[in-house]
Amino acid sequence: MSAILETIRSPADLRGLTTTQLGQLAEEIRQRIIDVVGRNGGHLASNLGIVELTIALHVAFDFSHDRLLWDVGHQAYVHKLLTGRNANFDQLRKAGGPSGFPNIDESPYDLFNVGHAGTAIPTAVGMARGLSMMGSDAAVVALVGDASIVNGVAFEGLNQGGLLKRQFLTILNDNSMGIAPTQGGFADYLAKFRASPMYEDIKRTVRRYLPQLPLIGRPAYDVLDHLKEGIKAAFSPHQIFEQLGFQYVGPVDGHDIEHLIELLRVLRGVQHPVLLHVHTTKGRGAEYAVAEPCRFHSPNPFRIEGCRVEIQSGGRSWTAAFADALIELARHDDRVFALTAAMPDGTGLNKFAKVFPERCLDGGIAESGTVDIAAGMCKVGLRPVCAIYSTFLQRAFDQVFQEVVLQKLPVIFCLDRAGLVGGDGPVHHGYLDITFLRGFQNMVLMAPADEAELNACLRLAMRLETPCAIRYPRDNVPPTLLAPGESSTPDFELGRSRMLRKGDDATLLVYGALCHEALAAAASLADEGIEVGIINARFAKPIDREMVALALETGRPVLTIEDHSIAGGFGAAVLEAACELGLDTRSIVRLGLPVDAFVAHGSRSAQLAECGIDAAGIAAAVRSACAKARESAALTEEPVARPATRGRTPARPII
């Protein structure tokens, strides 16, 4: 029973608790997170590791006035539990429940919707400067993980943050996945001492008076100064932070609530930039998560049976299919080299790395640099395959343009999590890849409908002399599609579509894995006497113009279907092709993700339904389009009296 947690309505309720009670609260929070993530899935290990630090922050600071910014934000579950969201925490990542990331619509304590790395420090710098200009004394805290600190944007923020002439605290959460281990109790003591006003006073006094002593003053000061710098250089691996203008404090034990609160209260009053290095254990409180922090970073729902922890499997995923396909490709072509940006597990490259350890690179949370590395490899004759989440490739837009497209290099981009992603919500949806990649010269865009087509995509990609991108969703791989008369999946031919089903009442042009939803819709419509043709587009660029022309020349409704924003997406490509061919586009209906609204977190199936691109939504859109077509046809058959026109051509009838 969570006796203390149930009493916490806001962070103010923490400040009357004893250290012992805060320790008990930490354990209650850990159990609450394990229970909920076990049922719903979500980010587990990182949240278990940050419990004491989050509690201490909310005790030492008043974030109803002060400002707390999270980097990435997947480790903010404890923060949510302490800021009034415990009551519906059971619905974490489900529709109507709390998001898995900070969300401005949930709480005033969440300052930004975040989910990408490296952003907290520069955003905090902006807030600090703005608050100073407005005369506010609000403290500003940026909390960043050791993996995120390698992101270039984070260092750009540090470069600016060191120039601030006010309180500014950056906390580096080192969870044993990088940087350096804690140095024990002495480090805690030294950290507190270095942060204290007394230490600053001593430094100022020595600086001011020692050089003034006759004969020995200046030499003694210089010797002490050089000695101090030498010791710091020898024993501190974090000189870079102080060179950037930050006072470095730490490392300190991130699980000692009492010491953390004392230290944070001191740092709250320090009027210059400080970087606090906190050492935590990822997965603390769950032995299985400590032992396998990567596996339990963001697990599916799981259950604990005795000493065994079983993570539920929903079947064969697109990620697994991609990994197997790439391994097979690499066995037959020594030029294949796989790259990812801090997502080896999420993209399946961990499996590839076990087979080809010398042909796989994890570039860290640095998508821009990873793309540039791929470009360099390609330039000397390798065939790099960049496996990156669709939403994260946005961060490397310029590198894709300058280092890949402009150089005409055949880098292969494999975009996992393309389209709606379920529980991770708007910060991870792959809304935009078709839109921004389609504008690049000679970029080929492909989307497979099943695993056999994914293999075919990769085979074609290896033959291309231009860059290409292959997109696939966060979902299970559907069964292999075979059209009537097919005994196997046809190979991919550049810019050619594939007819899956014939029908005379409407045509569905489908891009990617939604072919299965379209086929299910067609089956239900057939029971109603509506026969729908289905074309698997396969390509968004170059688009199959012959397919577009054949579909539109019938005059019947043509519906484009994509798991992507309709702004600049596949449907827009169809419209552009039709216009260039001089075809009437009024029969085209575009189905996809909304342009000016974000699709909230929830199950992927519910999100598809919300956007009208599941089987039921597609069927409803076809019925509506066919009904309008019949109404228009009826109108053209009935002569309507019109006033005489003087030299004007009558309006063209709607068909």
Please give the residue that has the higher pLDDT: either 6 or 205: 6
268 is catalytic: no
Question: Per-residue confidence at 99, pLDDT binned at 50, 70, 90?
Answer: very high
Residue 149: predicted pLDDT: 84
Residue 644: predicted pLDDT: 40
Whether 51 and 145 share a structural domain: yes
Residues spanned by the domain of 257: 5-288
Residue 310: predicted pLDDT: 64
Active-site hit among 367, 403, 562, 610: 367
Q: What is the DSSP letter of 416?
A: E
Question: In this predicted model, what pLDDT tens digit does every residue of 564-603 receive, in sequence order?
Answer: 999 999 999 999 999 999 999 999 999 999 999 999 999 9
Angle value at C-alpha 49, between 241 and 264, nearest 5 degrees? 50
Residue 209: predicted pLDDT: 59
Question: Per-residue confidence at 211, pLDDT binned at 50, 70, 90?
Answer: low
Residue 549: predicted pLDDT: 96
Q: Give residue for tokens 């630090």.
A: 53
Residue 145: predicted pLDDT: 86
How far apart, in whole angstroms, are the C-alpha atoms of residue 116 and residue 430? Answer: 13
Question: In this predicted model, what pLDDT tens digit does every residue of 299-325 receive, in sequence order?
Answer: 888 887 655 666 666 789 999 999 999
Residue 375: predicted pLDDT: 97
Whether 454 and 513 share a structural domain: no
How far apart, in whole angstroms, are the C-alpha atoms of residue 15 and residue 325? Answer: 55
Whether 420 and 325 share a structural domain: yes
CB 68 within 8 A of CB 76: no
Cβ–Cβ contacts within 10 Å for residue 60, how many?
Answer: 21
Whether 237 and 326 share a structural domain: no
Residue 652: predicted pLDDT: 32
Question: Per-residue confidence at 642, pLDDT binned at 50, 70, 90?
Answer: very low
**424 in any annotated domain:** yes
Residue 472: predicted pLDDT: 98
- Classify residue 335 by burial, with Cβ atoms within 10 Å: 0-12, 13-18, 19+: middle
- The CATH number of whichever domain residue 591 belongs to comes to 3.40.50.920
What's 94-136 look like in SS3?
A: CCCCCCCCCCCCCCCCCCCCCCCCCCHHHHHHHHHHHHHHCCC
**170 in any annotated domain:** yes
Whether 380 and 515 share a structural domain: no
Residue 166: predicted pLDDT: 96
Residue 449: predicted pLDDT: 97
- List residues bridging with 277 in a β-sheet: 172
Average pLDDT on 183-202 reads 51
What is the separation, in whole angstroms, between the first and last Cα of the chain? 66
Q: What is the dihedral of CA 583, 588, 592, 594, to 10 degrees?
A: 100
Structure tokens at 253: 């034990």
**What percentage of the chain reaches a pLDDT higher than 70?**
85
Active-site hit among 395, 438, 471, 501: 395
Question: In this predicted model, what pLDDT tens digit does every residue of 398-451 receive, in sequence order?
Answer: 999 999 999 999 999 999 999 999 999 999 999 999 999 999 999 999 999 999
Whether 101 and 139 share a structural domain: yes
pLDDT, mean over the chain: 88
Q: Provide the edge-to-edge strand list for the sheet that holds 168-174.
A: 67-70, 140-145, 168-174, 273-279, 247-253
Q: 3-state DSSP: the chain helix, strand, coil percent, rounded to 5?
A: 45, 15, 40
Residue 621, helix vs strand vs coil = helix
Angle value at C-alpha 183, between 180 and 187, nearest 5 degrees? 120
Residue 295: predicted pLDDT: 87
Whether 461 and 503 share a structural domain: no
**218 in any annotated domain:** yes
Strands (E) across 118-220 are located at 140-145, 168-174
Residue 177: predicted pLDDT: 61
Question: In this predicted model, what pLDDT tens digit does every residue of 55-95 receive, in sequence order?
Answer: 999 999 999 999 999 998 899 999 999 999 999 999 999 98
Residue 287: predicted pLDDT: 87
Whether 515 and 569 share a structural domain: yes
Q: Is the pLDDT of residue 8 over 90?
A: yes
Active-site hit among 30, 32, 94, 282: 282
**299 in any annotated domain:** no
Helices (runs of H) and strands (runs of E) counted in the chain: 25, 19
How far apart, in whole angstroms, are the C-alpha atoms of residue 23 and residue 118? Answer: 31
Q: What CA–CA distances, in Å, run from 630 to 292, 554, 617, 620, 624?
A: 60, 14, 20, 15, 10
Question: Per-residue confidence at 655, pLDDT binned at 50, 70, 90?
Answer: very low
Whether 463 and 512 share a structural domain: no
Question: Per-residue confidence at 541, pLDDT binned at 50, 70, 90?
Answer: very high
Q: Is the pLDDT of residue 651 over 80?
A: no
Of 614, 56, 563, 44, which is closest to residue 295 (Cα–Cα)? Answer: 44
- Work out whether strand 558-565 and strand 506-510 pair parallel, antiparallel, or are unpaired: parallel
Cβ–Cβ contacts within 10 Å for residue 2, how many?
Answer: 17
Q: Give residue for tokens 């696939």.
A: 472
- The CATH number of whichever domain residue 143 belongs to comes to 3.40.50.970
Residue 286, helix vs strand vs coil = coil
**138 in any annotated domain:** yes
How far apart, in whole angstroms, are the C-alpha atoms of residue 128 and residue 169? Answer: 10
Of 431, 348, 335, 421, which is closest to residue 384 (Cα–Cα)? Answer: 335
Whether 434 and 523 share a structural domain: no
Query: How many residues does the structure list for the chain?
Result: 655
Q: Is the pLDDT of residue 534 over 80?
A: yes
Residue 234: predicted pLDDT: 47
**414 in any annotated domain:** yes
**pTM to 2 decimal places:** 0.84
**396 in any annotated domain:** yes
How far apart, in whole angstroms, are the C-alpha atoms of residue 517 and residue 508? Answer: 11
Q: Is the pLDDT of residue 186 over 90?
A: no
Whether 552 and 444 share a structural domain: no
Please give the residue that has the higher pLDDT: either 524 or 187: 524
CB 522 within 8 A of CB 541: no
Whether 324 and 202 share a structural domain: no
**325 in any annotated domain:** yes
Residue type, 220: A
Question: Per-residue confidence at 189, pLDDT binned at 50, 70, 90?
Answer: very low
Average pLDDT on 461-485 reads 95
Question: In this predicted model, what pLDDT tens digit does every residue of 325-343 receive, in sequence order?
Answer: 999 999 999 999 999 998 9
282 is catalytic: yes
CB 238 within 8 A of CB 247: no
Domain count, the chain: 3
Q: What is the DSSP letter of 482?
A: -
Q: What CA–CA distances, in Å, run from 174 to 44, 67, 236, 635?
A: 16, 21, 15, 70
395 is catalytic: yes
Residue type, 515: C
Residue 654: predicted pLDDT: 27
How far apart, in whole angstroms, are the C-alpha atoms of residue 561 and residue 591? Answer: 5
**What percentage of the chain reaches a pLDDT higher than 90?**
75
